[in-house]
Chain A
Amino acid sequence: MSALAASVASAVVGSSVREGFGPTTIDLPRERWTEALEATAGAGATFFDLLTAYDDGAAGLAVVVHIAASDLRDHLLLRTALPLGDLALATATTVYRGAAWHERETHEMFGIDFIGNTHLDPLLLPAGFSATPLRKEFVLAARAARAWPGEKDPTDEGGRPRRRILPPGVPADWPAAST
C-alpha cells in the first residue's frame, strides 16, 4: 500500500482499503468524508485531480475523488456510497477549493447534493432540464429515435422476431414511452 493511503486509512475510523490494478482506493462511511479529505491534505496531498460519481445500480451512487501528492509521487482514490433515497454528501470545497466545479457538474449529472457548496447551478444542461443524464435510469433520446440493429432475428425469414428482444438500458415499453 502506498504511504499516502496508509496514513489516511489509519487516521480515519471505519475506512477500508482496496487495492486493485489502479491507485489504492479507500472506502469511507460518508460521515467521515470531510475528515478523510483533511487527512489526505495532512499526509502531504497537494493536488486535487477530480471528483465524480458513478451509478452502482441498486446499491445507489458512489462518489469518488482522486487526490495526488506530487512531492511524494503518490496518489489515491477516496470513495463513499450513497443510497438512492438520500443523495447528500458534505462538500469537499472546505479542503480543496477546486472541487467546487466538479461538485457542480456531479450535482447536475447525478442529482447529488453537496452540503455546504452554495453554487450548485446548472453548468452544461439547458435551463429547466431536471433529469440526471449520467444515471443509468436515464434513457437517451437517440435510443428512441433510431431502430435497434440487434432486433433482427437472422433465423426468422418473416422479419419479425419470435420473441421480442430489447436492447439493454431502455424501458420495457420502449420506444412508445420515449417518443
Chain B
Amino acid sequence: MTPGPAAPRPARTRGVIALVEESCTVCMLCVRECPDWCIEIDSHTVTLPPDDTHRRPRTEAVLDRFAIDFGLCMYCGICVEVCPFDALHWSPVAEYAATSSAALTHERDRLASWEATVLEPGALDPRAVVDDPGPRRAVRPATGS
C-alpha cells in the first residue's frame, strides 16, 4: 500500500481485471485479442437436452479455467472492451504485488473475487463522442385491440 490514507480512485482506474463468471460464454475473443497472450481459458462442452425453447439438443461450452497473468498484462484493456457479454471489468484495486512471477497469475476464483471492488462507471468526458446506433429494431407501435 502507498503510505498515508488512500486517495479515492477515479472510476476508470485500471488496477486489476475482474471476471463475472456467469457472463462468460467461452467465446475466446479476449484470449485471441490479447496482444500479450496473457489470458488462458480452458473449457469443455456439454450437450443439453431439448427443452421448451430449444427443439433440438444443443452443445454449450462450460468454463473450466480462466486465468490472467498480470506479469504479462500491459493493462491495455482490449479484453474488457472486446467482451461482448461484459464479463470483464476494470477494478481500481492495485495492491496485489507478489513475491514470485507465478503468483501474478490470477486464476478464476481470484479474478471473480475482484468483482465486488468494481466501481460504478463515471461521467463521460466533456468532449466524448457518444456512439449511439439507436434501437436495433423499429419499435412496433402498440396496436389497439
Contact = CB atoms under 8 A, between A and B. Distances in A.
Interface of A: 21, 146, 148-150, 152-155, 157, 165, 167-169
Contacts of A152: 28, 31, 41-43
Interface string B109-129: 000000000000000000100
B75 interface: no
Interface of B: 26-28, 31-32, 34-35, 37, 39-45, 59, 61, 127
Contacts of B42: 152
A175 to B, nearest CB: 13
B45 A149 contact: no
Contacts of A153: 28
9 contacts: A21-B127, A148-B37, A149-B41, A152-B31, A152-B42, A154-B27, A154-B28, A155-B61, A157-B44
A157 B45 contact: yes
Chain A interface SS verdict (over half): loop
Contact of B37 (A146, A157, A165): A146
A155 B62 CA distance: 10
Nearest to A147: B37
Contact of B43 (A21, A154, A165, A169): A154
Nearest to B128: A21
A1 to B, nearest CB: 15
A165 B31 CA distance: 12
